[in-house]
């Protein structure tokens, strides 16, 4: 079933190319930024499929003690983690609620929502929101998001440090500094057994390229290569000096 072709699973989200858009606009306009993280997002989204589950044993036992039938199923009204259409279902809910609150969804980059009345901009990455607006407007937007969604407490930032999508942000004056989480580099060092190695100049020179004559990797080495490449692709968004190797 996991190989079936479906067109209802896509959910627009932030990308490496758009992840700094909010930061750039906030600095250019002199606006505040804000973030919000929804709690149990899938449970807030309406079910889009017919999904039934077996009730927990303690519930069936309770019904049996009451003399009621235990030959029952529960029909879900909310999405659940692991459901293939859950991500798309959640984004549909977010889009519907934000549009009802006056936002317009960008047709080209549908993870962005803009409200012309007060010039508030939000980028949605699944259950994470990152936005910017004038300070008073941002405070009102955050308060409204708390009313619409079940979200963790969030702050409006004009100065200071906060994190979004595992990237630290430091706002100082009219500048925003971004840094990827160093734990990814630590993971790569551990994966490759480089804890005691010395640093080398990067990027490396073309003559140091091993070429195409290296032997094929075994299964364990191939798995390590895939994991290491995935880490480097993430790190490359913040470190120009590793882009050549990715």
pLDDT tens-digit series, residues 207-246 = 666 566 777 888 888 999 999 888 888 888 777 766 665 5
Report, as ranges of residue numbers, the positions in the chain whose pLDDT lies below 50: none
* CA-closest candidate to residue 111, choices 97, 123, 99: 123
**150, 40 Cβ separation under 8 angstroms:** yes
What does the pLDDT look like over 34-44, one tens digit per residue? Answer: 999 988 888 99
Cα–Cα distance for residue pair 110/101, rounded to 1 Å: 16
Determine the pLDDT at residue 237.
Answer: 79
Cα–Cα distance for residue pair 123/102, rounded to 1 Å: 15
| Global confidence as pTM | 0.79
Helix, coil or strand: residue 39: coil
Determine the pLDDT at residue 11.
Answer: 83
Determine the pLDDT at residue 163.
Answer: 87
Cα–Cα distance for residue pair 38/146, rounded to 1 Å: 9
**106, 112 Cβ separation under 8 angstroms:** yes
Determine the pLDDT at residue 246.
Answer: 53
* Helix, strand, coil percent values for the chain (each to nearest 5): 35, 20, 45
Q: Which two tokens stand for residue 28?
A: 């250019």
What angle is formed at CA 235 by the lines to CA 234 and CA 241, rounded to 5 degrees? 135
Determine the pLDDT at residue 3.
Answer: 65
Cα–Cα distance for residue pair 159/140, rounded to 1 Å: 18
């Amino acid at each position: 079933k996991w190989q079936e072709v479906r067109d209802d699973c896509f959910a627009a989200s932030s990308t490496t190319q758009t992840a700094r858009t909010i930061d750039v606009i906030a600095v250019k306009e002199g606006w505040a930024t804000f973030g919000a993280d929804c709690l149990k997002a899938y449970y807030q989204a309406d079910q889009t499929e017919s999904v039934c589950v077996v009730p927990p044993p303690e519930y069936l036992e309770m019904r049996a003690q009451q003399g009621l039938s235990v030959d029952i199923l529960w029909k879900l009204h909310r999405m659940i983690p692991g459901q293939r259409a859950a991500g798309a279902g959640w984004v549909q809910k977010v889009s519907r609620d934000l549009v009802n609150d006056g936002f317009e969804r960008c047709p080209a980059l549908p993870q962005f929502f803009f409200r012309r009345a007060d010039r508030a901009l939000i980028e949605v990455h699944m259950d994470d929101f990152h936005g910017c607006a004038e300070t008073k407007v941002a405070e009102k937007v955050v308060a409204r998001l708390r009313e619409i969604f079940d979200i963790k407490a969030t702050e409006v930032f004009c100065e200071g440090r906060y994190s979004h999508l595992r990237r630290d942000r430091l706002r100082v004056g009219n500048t925003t500094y971004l840094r990827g989480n160093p734990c990814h580099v630590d993971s790569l060092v551990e994966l490759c057994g480089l804890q005691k190695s010395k640093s080398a100049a990067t990027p490396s020179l073309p003559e140091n390229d091993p070429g195409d004559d290296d032997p094929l990797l075994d299964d364990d080495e191939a798995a390590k290569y895939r994991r290491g490449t995935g880490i480097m692709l993430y790190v490359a968004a913040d470190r120009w000096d590793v882009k050549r190797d990715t």
